[in-house]
């Protein structure tokens, strides 16, 4: 028997998290073929209490992936289709005037909007104006909604998955850099491999696939999120994450020349925090009690790609934020 009950409890939770990852992946695989890295990153973000921005062309099952994940997690799920005429109150909720029939007294009652859920799909978030985008992003950051002078606390866990289409830019409102920074990960969904696509077409043109069973509930997920926060990290790993982020800033003294030439604005401190939390979550999901530098490096692209602002010359040369991060990883 362990001399330290809390360590014994954490070890048990760590094993249960590792087991849950396998079960969740197997349940999601009932409807989603391939995309294992995307699924892994969604789980990393979930247990790190982060939110995800998913970018991909139409038809790559972004919405199906998110709804399938929601089915595998016994939590309240809502979907918002973002459109140009969507108002902030359509997300957060609105007040309605009601009358007490017995007294005739009138009063306002707050009707909660779809943001009051635990898993929220924000479909095509860039199709709505900045004011409406900001209503969601405030809830993501503060886990609460303010209306008519009152604060309404959101249930935990609260996991937002927003989607974007990278092709159609007409009639869209791109998220500003300050708002992009609120997203823990930016995940790009690519086309499937040929054998995966054959399997997708075969499985989706016949009878319905097996039902997805719920694996974890909200209460358990909160405990596992708290476990991830408690995981210790060695000081050199923290310093590596901080140094990696600082090297994305063109005005730092030890920044590589290709960064000074190719990046106008680098990542802020929130990026280093996200790297460490992602490393902790990845280690925990793999059954390890502490992360290493490789965990930080694995999280670098989804953490940094949406936090870097490239120069005009870099864009003209066909360089992307991912190219910059890969070059940085090869020199760090």
The CATH number of residue 322's host domain is 1.10.8.80
225 and 240 fall within a common domain: no
255 and 318 fall within a common domain: yes
pTM for the structure as a whole: 0.89
Give the domain range for residue 291: 233-332
- Beta strand 150-153 with 144-147: parallel, antiparallel or unpaired? antiparallel
Name the nearest CA neighbour of 49 among 213, 244, 227.
227
pLDDT at 141: 85
Give 51: exposed, middle or buried? Use CB within 10 Å, 0-12, 13-18, 19+. Answer: buried
State in Å, rounded, how far the first CA of the chain is from the last one.
43
Name the nearest CA neighbour of 274 among 260, 291, 289, 257.
291
Angstrom distance (rounded) from CA 86 to CA 91: 8
pLDDT averaged over 10-residue windows placed end to end, the chain, 332 residues: 61 86 88 87 94 86 85 90 90 82 78 90 88 85 82 90 78 78 91 84 76 88 93 96 94 87 91 96 92 96 94 90 93 83
Within-domain flag for 4 = yes
Question: Helices 5-28 and 62-72 sit at what angle, rounded to 10 degrees?
Answer: 130
266 and 147 fall within a common domain: no
Contact 20, 47 (CB under 8 A): no
Name the nearest CA neighbour of 153 among 122, 203, 115.
115
Contact 245, 291 (CB under 8 A): no
177 and 292 fall within a common domain: no
- Mean pLDDT value across the chain: 87
185 and 43 fall within a common domain: yes
Domain tally, the chain: 2
126 and 61 fall within a common domain: yes
Give 58: exposed, middle or buried? Use CB within 10 Å, 0-12, 13-18, 19+. Answer: exposed
Q: Where are the alpha helices (DSSP H) in the chain?
A: 5-28, 36-47, 62-72, 88-92, 130-142, 177-180, 194-204, 218-230, 235-246, 257-262, 269-285, 293-304, 312-316, 321-331
Structure tokens given for 62: 């972004």
pLDDT at 8: 66
pLDDT at 248: 94
* 146: β partners: 151
Contact 328, 244 (CB under 8 A): yes
Contact 58, 204 (CB under 8 A): no
pLDDT at 157: 92
Tell me the HSE value of 163 on the side-chain side, using a 13 A CA sphere: 26
């Amino acid at each position: 028997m362990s001399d330290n009950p809390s360590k014994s409890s954490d070890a048990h939770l760590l094993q249960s998290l590792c087991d849950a990852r396998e079960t969740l992946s197997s349940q999601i695989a009932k409807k989603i073929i391939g995309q294992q890295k995307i699924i892994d990153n969604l789980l990393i973000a979930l247990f790190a209490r982060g939110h995800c921005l998913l970018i991909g062309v139409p038809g790559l099952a972004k919405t199906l992936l998110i709804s399938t994940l929601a089915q595998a997690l016994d939590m309240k799920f809502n979907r918002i289709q973002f459109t140009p005429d969507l108002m902030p109150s359509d997300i957060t909720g609105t007040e309605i005037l009601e009358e007490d029939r017995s007294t005739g007294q009138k009063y306002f009652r707050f009707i909660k909007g779809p943001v009051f859920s635990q898993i929220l799909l924000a479909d095509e978030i860039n199709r709505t104006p900045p004011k409406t985008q900001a209503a969601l992003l405030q809830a993501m950051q503060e886990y609460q909604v303010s209306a008519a002078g009152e604060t309404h606390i959101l249930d935990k866990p609260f996991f937002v998955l927003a989607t974007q289409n990278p092709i159609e830019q007409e009639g869209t409102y791109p998220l500003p850099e300050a708002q992009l920074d609120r997203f823990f990960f930016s995940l790009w969904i690519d086309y499937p491999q040929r054998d995966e696509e054959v399997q997708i077409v075969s499985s989706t043109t016949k009878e319905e696939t097996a039902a997805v069973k719920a694996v974890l509930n909200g209460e358990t997920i909160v405990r596992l999120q708290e476990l991830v926060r408690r995981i210790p990290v060695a000081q050199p790993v923290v310093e590596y994450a901080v140094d990696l982020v600082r090297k994305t800033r063109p005005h730092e003294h030890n920044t590589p020349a290709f960064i000074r030439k190719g990046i106008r604005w680098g990542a802020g401190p929130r990026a280093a925090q996200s790297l460490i939390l992602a490393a902790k979550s990845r280690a925990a999901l793999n059954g390890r009690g502490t992360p290493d530098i490789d965990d930080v490096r694995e999280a670098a692209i989804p953490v940094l790609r949406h936090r870097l602002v490239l120069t005009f010359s870099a864009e003209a040369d066909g360089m992307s934020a991912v190219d910059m991060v890969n070059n940085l990883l090869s020199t760090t």
